[in-house]
Amino acid sequence: MSGPPSVIVTLDGAVHDPDRPLLFGDDLAAVRGDGVFETLLVRDGRACLVEPHLRRLAHSAAMMDLPEPDPAAWREAIGIALCQWASRSPEEGALRLVYSRGRERGSDPTAYLTISPLAARVGAARRDGVAAVLLDRGLPADGAQDMPWLLAGAKTLSYAVNMAALRHAAARGADDVVFVSSDGYVLEGPRSTVVIAVGGADGRPCLLTPPPWWPILRGTTQQALFEVARDAGYDCDYQALRPADLAAAQGVWLVSSITLSARVNTLDGRALPPSPLCAEMARLVDTAVAGDR
């Protein structure tokens, strides 16, 4: 990854040298993955969908029994970081909020944020779409609410399984993953929400995504997309989906805060038909992230 140096700001507003150490060696973020995070797109000098991301950060923290984050402090730190980034680059960036339990021996929570250049894969996925593979998540679609210790629906720093899934996909010549439940339902991607387009009753495409009460992360970009799409006259709904529904859809996208919308071109090595909605989906998502909902 090339580009300007990263920005690092702690929650007290202090700006840190990105080439100097920040964490203590026993911080539970590093030794246990015991914390939560959010990633936001920086575009045109502003962070996209700040309030939905702060709400989800608080939701994840509550699921992990972390102290409630102070949204005002996070907003102030974000503002400082954006000023720093604007002085270094006019380009888009990835803003990550990190909130951990603190040091292993006991301390206040660790809280900081970074802004970094976008990975090269982001532009390629937006422009060209992605090849995805289906992988078993090992959880049923229903019932995770009875197992809160699994932290289904929390955006935790324990991301090793997601990264392993992406490496497995790469070894198979694919770019991304769609997780499937143990009972055969589509869930989500390691870093995205699955959205498909199908023919509606009135002939206009309907946008569908798996139910958010399943063991998936509630998508901030997907929710904003549905608001904008409904305003534009599209039906949008949450519905149980099988892999066969993806193969038969008018389009399949992996929607996320940074990549925004990446059309799935192939699924498990099978080419999906071209979608007539590619440009429209990109426009809707761009509109969705332009407003803070």
Question: pLDDT of 95-139, one tens digit each?
Answer: 999 999 999 998 899 999 999 999 999 999 999 999 999 999 999
Q: Which CATH architecture has domain 125-290?
A: Alpha-Beta Barrel (3.20)
Q: What pLDDT score does 180 carry? A: 98
Do 226 and 236 contact (CB within 8 A), yes or no?
A: yes
Question: pLDDT of 19-34, one tens digit each?
Answer: 999 999 999 999 999 9
Domain ranges (residues) in the chain: 7-118, 125-290
For 7-118, CATH gives 3.30.470.10
With 90 as the cut, is the pLDDT of residue 248 above it?
yes
- C-alpha triplet 148, 208, 247: angle, nearest 5°: 105
**Which distant-in-sequence residues (6+ apart) come within 8 Å of 107 by Cβ?**
none
Say how many C-beta atoms besides its own lie within 10 A of residue 264's C-beta: 23
Q: Which three-class secondary structure string do you get for 27-87?
A: EHHHHCCCEEEEEEEEECCEECCHHHHHHHHHHHHHHCCCCCCCHHHHHHHHHHHHHHHHH
Question: pLDDT of 144-178, one tens digit each?
Answer: 788 888 899 999 999 999 999 999 999 999 999 99
Q: Which of 106, 111, 103 is nearest to 68 (CA)?
A: 111
